[in-house]
Homo-oligomer: A and B are copies of this chain.
């Protein structure tokens, strides 16, 4: 099938799923989990096919060992995947929520109601568990989705999707084509051009993937390319707290996007030498070259810079940062407030490790991704990020001329 037809089908499916009740969508989620559980052997078998191909690539150096591990689906990952789907079913329905109810006049009521965005395009690298997760988020939020996974996991992806779709077929009233998959590079190119039918692109993978997607589409993209997070240790910072927080932010999971990359230290901070020595004891490699200020190591390497004070720290972050998550460690509340207001990042933290920037830690129940965008959704994005709203206006033959002529007047009384 050509891509345009797939996209048209997705659009049609998106309009149908938008009219389904919460109950049917949740039933579909439980059905997906049950079916995957029942047929897990098939999924593991398909995964083994991919793994045996991938082993060759690892041996020839075309695939990294860590990519191989991400590709591998074991009992633990399967259990987490199933739990994840069932957890999503339990979350509050993100659509059909009344965000505003306003009586414009007697018998003329405006409802602002959350609704799905429409069609999502998801491009992800070789992590087969992403399919189940994204499909579940789409079903929950009543969006249709077109998936394009990494070529290394093609057999696993095909199998998981066929299991998901056979589950959905068993759900009465559930429309076709809510979840579709494409496979080729050409399909990616078509997807990125298809702004007529696709409303949001979510790239799930490394920064090169995200950058490529952002540079090659006019469709809104939800995601972040870089996670260059900073911690500024102010003059009045508590030394022990600084050591603890910076160590956690760098070493707890160094390859995470919310790990700290640059440490800024106030020139008058007395604990400076002790802090740096402590970090080195935790096997953090310190570097202070300007070339590294906009570089994400994703490793136990930390850039540091001595700054003249709060203003220079804020300016440094706004210049070299990626707007992801940045922290001040200080005992000076006024400085903390200034830092949080003037630092232009999705997360601005005061005496807390940057590693907290995460949808689950924020209590969202599910995470769509982390966004460094300045519109729509910013920071860790939960199911809400897959919704927009529409205005329903309900009256009884009301016309504008009555209000323009002065015959009637608006009340604008909020009911909700």
Whether B353 pairs with A400 at a CB distance below 8 angstroms is yes
A117 at the interface (CB under 8 A from B): yes
Residue from B340, B344, B346, B398 in contact with A356 in the complex, judged by beta carbons closer than 8 Å: B398
* A321 CB contacts on chain B under 8 angstroms: none
* A14 CB contacts on chain B under 8 angstroms: 344
Whole-angstrom distance between the Cβ of A177 and the nearest chain B Cβ: 15
Tell which of A66-74, A162-170, A268-276, A371-379 binds the partner: A371-379
Q: How large is the interface on A (under 10, 10 to 19, 20 to 34, 35 or more residues)?
A: 35 or more
* A238 CB contacts on chain B under 8 angstroms: 397
Tell which of A55-63, A86-94, A102-110 binds the partner: A102-110
* A353 CB contacts on chain B under 8 angstroms: 398-400
A395 at the interface (CB under 8 A from B): yes
Q: List CB contacts (< 8 Å) of A364-416 with chain B.
A: 373-380, 388-401, 403-404, 410, 412
Whether B404 pairs with A252 at a CB distance below 8 angstroms is yes
A378 to B171 CA separation, bound complex (whole angstroms) = 32
Whole-angstrom distance between the Cβ of A191 and the nearest chain B Cβ: 16
Whether B400 pairs with A350 at a CB distance below 8 angstroms is no
Copies in the assembly, this chain? 2
Known A200-B374, A376-B375, A388-B378: A399·B244 in contact at CB below 8 Å: yes
Proximity bits, A95-121, B CB within 8 Å = 1, else 0: 000000010100010100000011000
Q: Smallest CB-CB separation from A319: which chain B residue?
A: B11
A373 to B200 CA separation, bound complex (whole angstroms) = 11
Known A341-B18, A344-B15: A102·B363 in contact at CB below 8 Å: yes
Q: List CB contacts (< 8 Å) of A205-231 with chain B.
A: 214-215, 217-218, 220
Q: Smallest CB-CB separation from A256: which chain B residue?
A: B400
A361 to B104 CA separation, bound complex (whole angstroms) = 8
Whole-angstrom distance between the Cβ of A95 and the nearest chain B Cβ: 10
A318 at the interface (CB under 8 A from B): yes
Residue from B102, B110, B362, B379 in contact with A102 in the complex, judged by beta carbons closer than 8 Å: B362
Whole-angstrom distance between the Cβ of A381 and the nearest chain B Cβ: 11
A403 to B356 CA separation, bound complex (whole angstroms) = 10
A30 at the interface (CB under 8 A from B): no
Shortest beta-carbon contacts, A-B, top 4: A248-B399, A363-B412, A355-B400, A241-B397
